[in-house]
Every structure is written in structure tokens, then in C-alpha cells.
């Protein structure tokens, strides 16, 4: 079992675009990956955007990625890199039709 511990770098936490990018990358990976918070909680499938969101990992939280099988190390390196460097800035909200005044 390969393991990586990484601190969430995205200022919005593992939410929104960072969560979507992470889940999409995990879904495309050659081996199944799980993610859990170091602070506690069960591991959840990293390829599930809904599970990743429900994790509620905030900026600065430490998470553990785990996988086994061929290429697990490469997969985890790439995913850990994504979490550790995500510089996604806050984007405009979708509530584009907020009433004037």
C-alpha cells in the first residue's frame, strides 16, 4: 500500500474547482485511490467528487492518499502534487442574476 500525506494548499479548501480537478484526475488514474483526513474519518474514494466534497477538507488540512497496485506511486505523486500546489483563485460566483439593489 503506497501512501502520501499532503496539506491542502487551495485557499478555498478541497471544494469547487480544486475538488472537481482532483476527482477527475483520480477517476482517470490507473489504480483506485482513497483519501482521508489525518484528523479523523474513514477513507473515501478519491474518484468520487461527492465523497471528496463531503470530506470537507479546508485549506491547511492534512489528508492522506492511499493506493496499491502497479503504478500506485506515480499516481499518488501526481495527485499529491495537485493538492499541494493548487493555486486556484476564487472565481466569480454563479449567482449571476442576483437582483440589482
Partner 1 sequence: MGVGVSPGVVVGPVRRMADPVGRPPAAPPVEPAAREAEAARLVTAMAEVRDDLTARAGRARGAAVEVLEATALMAADPALAAAARERVVARGLRAEAAMWEAAGEVADTLAAVGGYLGERARDVHDVRDRIVAALTGRQAPGVPSPGHPFVLVARDLAPADTATLDPAAVLAIVTEAGGPTSHTAILARSLGIPAVVAATGAADLADGTEVLVDGRAGTVSREVSDADRERVAELARSPRRTFAGRGRTGSGTHVPLLANVGDVAGAEAAAAAGAEGVGLFRTEFCFLDRHDAPSVEEQVAVYAGVLAAFAGRRVVVRTLDAGADKPMPFLMDGDARGEEPNPALGVRGLRTSWRHPDLLDDQLRAVAEAARASAAEVWVMAPMVATADEAESFVARCVAHGLERAGVMVEVPAAALTADAVLAHATFASLGTNDLLQYTTAADRMLPALVGLNDPFQPALLHLVRAACAAGARRSRPVGVCGEAAADPALACVLVGLGATSLSMSPAALPDVAVALEGASDDDCRRAAWAALAAPTAAAARDAVRAALPHLAPLGL
Q: Does 23 contact partner 1 by CB under 8 A?
A: yes
Q: Which CB sits closer to partner 1, 2 or 21?
A: 21
CB-based contacts of 50, cutoff 8 Å, min separation 6: none
φ/ψ bin of 76: left (φ > 0), alpha (ψ from -120 to 50), beta (otherwise): alpha
> How far, in Å, CA of 17 to CA of 31, rounded?
23
Find out whether 82 and 22 touch, Cβ atoms under 8 Å: yes
Segment interacting with partner 1, rule: CB under 8 A, options 33-41, 42-50, 66-74, 78-86? 42-50
Residue 15 among the catalytic residues: yes
Backbone torsion region of residue 35, taken as left when φ is above 0, otherwise alpha when ψ lies between -120 and 50, otherwise beta: beta
Q: Does 31 contact partner 1 by CB under 8 A?
A: no
Binding to partner 1 by residue 100, rule CB under 8 A?
Answer: yes
Q: Which of 6, 8, 14, 15 is catalytic?
A: 15
Interface residue list for partner 1 (CB under 8 A): 11-13, 15-17, 19-20, 23-24, 27, 44-45, 47-51, 53-54, 56, 58, 90-101
Amino acid at each position: 500500500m503506497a501512501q502520501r500525506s499532503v496539506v491542502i494548499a487551495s485557499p478555498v479548501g478541497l471544494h469547487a474547482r480544486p475538488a472537481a480537478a482532483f476527482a477527475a484526475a483520480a477517476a482517470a488514474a490507473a489504480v483506485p485511490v482513497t483519501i482521508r483526513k489525518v484528523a479523523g474519518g474513514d477513507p473515501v474514494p478519491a474518484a468520487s467528487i461527492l465523497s471528496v466534497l463531503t470530506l470537507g477538507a479546508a485549506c491547511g488540512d492534512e489528508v492522506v492518499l492511499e493506493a496499491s497496485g502497479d503504478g500506485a506511486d506515480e499516481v499518488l505523486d501526481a495527485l499529491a502534487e495537485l493538492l499541494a500546489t493548487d493555486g486556484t483563485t476564487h472565481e466569480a460566483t454563479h449567482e449571476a442574476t442576483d437582483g440589482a439593489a
